Amino acid sequence: MPSKKPSITIRVNDEDYEILKEWADSEYRTVPSLVLALTKRAIDEYKEKLTDKE
Stated pTM of the model: 0.82
Which of 41, 38, 18, 21 lies closest to 29 in space, CA to CA? 21
Evaluate whether residue 53 is within a structural domain: yes
Evaluate whether residue 34 is within a structural domain: yes
Evaluate whether residue 5 is within a structural domain: no
Evaluate whether residue 1 is within a structural domain: no
- Looking at residue 47, its pLDDT comes to 94
Could you tell me the residue range of the domain that residue 45 belongs to?
Answer: 30-54
* Burial zone of 23 (CB within 10 Å; 0-12 exposed, 13-18 middle, 19+ buried): middle
Residues 2-24: pLDDT tens digits?
A: 789 899 999 999 999 999 999 99
Evaluate whether residue 8 is within a structural domain: no
C-alpha 12/C-alpha 39 separation (Å) is: 15
3-state secondary structure of 16: helix
Looking at the structure of the chain, the number of domains it has is 1
pLDDT-derived band at 52 (thresholds 50, 70, 90) equals confident
pLDDT mean across residues, the chain: 94
**pLDDT over 70, % of the chain:** 100
Q: Is the pLDDT of residue 45 over 80?
A: yes
